Structure 1
């Protein structure tokens, strides 16, 4: 933990950077953390003071900038090896330029706590430049209107390490123009991340000017791009970001109709974004500006629901949507205890339940089980070129993926169902296995068990938990009985 004066002192570093950019004479004290001083947007100096926290002087005069403690000075010049300027990436496509800083030095470049500089190697910098050039080319080619706004919205990328099979990214409305993005060699995935974060950044800027909703921190909405319930502010941000993501994949799918990944992502996000928008567009806490904002998105997004899309991509998008929603219900919805008690009593009395399932209660942010979301990663492997062979060779490397998951995405439904059944015998509370069984069964049959697992999985599990001591109360038996009782 840094002392408070180090955090406050960073304002001095901001002032020094502004003075340097303005070319004015200045002298100011700045904090030193583990021998380093970071000047935002410029670079980092190694002073080597030997203490964890100390104070140095930054001064500028006649075009010379120095940082030091009076005995040793570091100059912000290329010939001083103790000065490490921020590197940049400048991408060109069709005479359009996208310059961006690669910020690996600023202690406040992250989202949560300050961190020391972690410099990219020369090879890593070149890899980032190549990846950004390829992503920029895709954006200029397929979504030129989005590309036109990108240089005005994104000035700084905080490089994060690559994550297998995924590309995490993040931004905040308190840091306009900056985003944290993981490295990827996949140009389309990186282009998607750029579009996603630019939409967050733009909306964050807008929300400094107007309110789209009243204050409401209740985590009450299902957001298909998150594994937890979200407040309305987070949902609106997600709608706008995935509206942009949908536009990118729609354009790529239109221009490359034989691209299975583009068709899948478009089919997935056009539906998920539209459903979420419909769920919140009439909410009472929206302001007039918020309703107008969502209507504007809806006017563009609605016609896209009718765009033709390949049947295979649509099928796997539907599987992915159902899988995530069933998993979310299992982990974040709690059935009414009195309803569970009535169902348990009816089961043990050997009669059909004739009650009514009440409306869903407000979700809880405390999850009942984990969610690796491995099947979505596997589906994306299948949606690549040569997807079947890629799934076969790389599927087992997907974090959290089980043999049943690989069988399901590989189209071997009976093998997948048997695998999920075995996983649930070992752990009846396994949310991922229960959701997998629900989706696999619904692909195999439309019987009452699959119906109950798809529409009321949290109720099936809650009742089964109470009946596990009964020899005849297998999970599928309970689901089948419940499915014959409710619709």
Structure 2
């Protein structure tokens, strides 16, 4: 066996050696992201199948109403998939679908599990509505809310809503109401299968400018239940104009600094989830179950947003790669000191931190000599590069001396070190 992974990863997704090396060297080359997207989809299908198997094997522990709705929604999803597989794939691969699946599979049998199964209603309805054509479906809205992942959320004063769809227009009929709500949906782009909502009670997941990413402050699974480190911002408290401006400024800055990185961010980030700030410090996070979602408080400017997107996207990339090809073994008690955090980290944390900061070092190194970027960005990037380059070098030594990495993890770290060395091979010339 070569030092690189073989022709296929754990889940059977091909992982060519060049793509593995490019990922380790934080390259924004499209091949690496393509491999990770295939791995993500395979993983998502496995989790969905695991949920189906659990429901089938333990039918007696699932409430009859919840069981019937789950089976009906599953059948609808299968029918839509036969006609429009790309749409179903897009819905299943949406980051928060992964967070829902992880939460449902971890939830013990009982009312909580039954309630989580109901989320499949929204997923199946979203896929069906995006495909257009007739639909007549009744879904439960126990909180008076109907979430349609990646599209929006309807607030109603009823426990059940019938969704009726014609060729292009969707209407909502609350249980007990004499007429349909004024709110509705329209299929506005048949090529990309995009929906737009309108009317009272409807809140939209807003698109971010210049790409496919969404500002998702509505999905019920955008921050897992019980997570204490971060709190999701409420839709009503989100300054959508400010978020769009930060995103646009970050994209412009990345494009001027590193066009390849700008393209990778535009392609790899599917959702930005606003967080409630805690004090003056900026918050940024990712969920291993939801690659492609960046959880962040509103950065102070375009530079902060650009750095957050690059940093957190690499956490997502590494989490997906580790599912495909394990880079380290099960957790142990050993912890290590790293330069960017005050608390000691397990080996997984060292690898994640080194990888994300190596991507930032690469970005800052390019910013120093980029044309057309603000002078403050160039000078600040030079100082940050000097600091983080040394810290990443120390972390790479910790990793290579550890016996907790797999053989693939050692090769990955070796490739990281080669790129790290290349970044420091020439002096910086900050403007």
**TM-score, scaled to structure 1:** 0.56
In 2, the alpha carbon distance for the partners of 1:11 and 1:141 equals 42
Q: Tell me which residue corresponds to 1:305.
A: 424
In 2, the alpha carbon distance for the partners of 1:170 and 1:230 equals 16
The 8 Å contact of residues 167 and 190 in structure 1, kept in 2 or not, is answered as no
The one of 114, 118, 134 aligned to 2:234: 118
The one of 291, 294, 297 aligned to 1:179: 294
SS of the residue corresponding to residue 20 of structure 1 reads: helix
Distance of aligned partners of 1:187 and 1:240 in 2 relative to their CA distance in 1, 3 Å threshold: same
The one of 204, 215, 220 aligned to 2:335: 220
Matches within 5 A, 1:43-58: 43-49=152-158, 54-58=159-163
In 2, the alpha carbon distance for the partners of 1:116 and 1:228 equals 25
In 2, the alpha carbon distance for the partners of 1:59 and 1:279 equals 59
**Shift of residue 208, structure 1, vs aligned partner:** 2.5
The one of 156, 159, 184 aligned to 1:76: 184
Correspondence 1:63 to 2:172: no
Distance of aligned partners of 1:8 and 1:279 in 2 relative to their CA distance in 1, 3 Å threshold: same
In 2, the alpha carbon distance for the partners of 1:14 and 1:250 equals 42
**Shift of residue 65, structure 1, vs aligned partner:** 2.7
The 8 Å contact of residues 131 and 184 in structure 1, kept in 2 or not, is answered as yes
The 8 Å contact of residues 123 and 149 in structure 2, kept in 1 or not, is answered as yes
Distance of aligned partners of 1:260 and 1:80 in 2 relative to their CA distance in 1, 3 Å threshold: same
Output one character per residue of 1:197-255: Cα deviation in whole Å (capped at 9) or x when no partner.
Answer: 11112222222311111222435122333333222222212111111111111122233
Larger deviation: 209-218 or 236-245? Answer: 209-218
The 8 Å contact of residues 156 and 178 in structure 1, kept in 2 or not, is answered as yes
The one of 226, 247, 252 aligned to 2:362: 247
SS of the residue corresponding to residue 281 of structure 1 reads: helix
Q: Tell me which residue corresponds to 1:274.
A: 393
In 2, the alpha carbon distance for the partners of 1:213 and 1:294 equals 11
Distance of aligned partners of 1:163 and 1:88 in 2 relative to their CA distance in 1, 3 Å threshold: farther
Output one character per residue of 1:295-336: Cα deviation in whole Å (capped at 9) or x when no partner.
Answer: 1111111132344358xx9xxxxxxxxxxxxxxxxxxxxxxx
SS of the residue corresponding to residue 6 of structure 1 reads: helix
Structure number with greater CO (CA < 8 Å, separation at least 6) is 2
In 1, the alpha carbon distance for the partners of 2:299 and 2:233 equals 21
Larger Rg: 1
Distance of aligned partners of 1:212 and 1:140 in 2 relative to their CA distance in 1, 3 Å threshold: same
**TM-score, scaled to structure 2:** 0.63
Structure 2: runs of 5 or more not aligned: 1-106, 186-196
In 1, the alpha carbon distance for the partners of 2:206 and 2:351 equals 34
Correspondence 1:104 to 2:217: yes
Q: Tell me which residue corresponds to 2:209.
A: 90
Distance of aligned partners of 1:17 and 1:113 in 2 relative to their CA distance in 1, 3 Å threshold: farther
Matches within 5 A, 1:249-268: 249-255=364-370, 259-268=378-387
In 2, the alpha carbon distance for the partners of 1:61 and 1:204 equals 41
Q: Tell me which residue corresponds to 2:115.
A: 6
Q: Tell me which residue corresponds to 1:284.
A: 403
**Shift of residue 158, structure 1, vs aligned partner:** 0.6
**Shift of residue 110, structure 1, vs aligned partner:** 1.1
Distance of aligned partners of 1:3 and 1:282 in 2 relative to their CA distance in 1, 3 Å threshold: same
**Shift of residue 121, structure 1, vs aligned partner:** 5.9
Structure 1: runs of 5 or more not aligned: 92-97, 314-384, 386-487
SS of the residue corresponding to residue 37 of structure 1 reads: strand
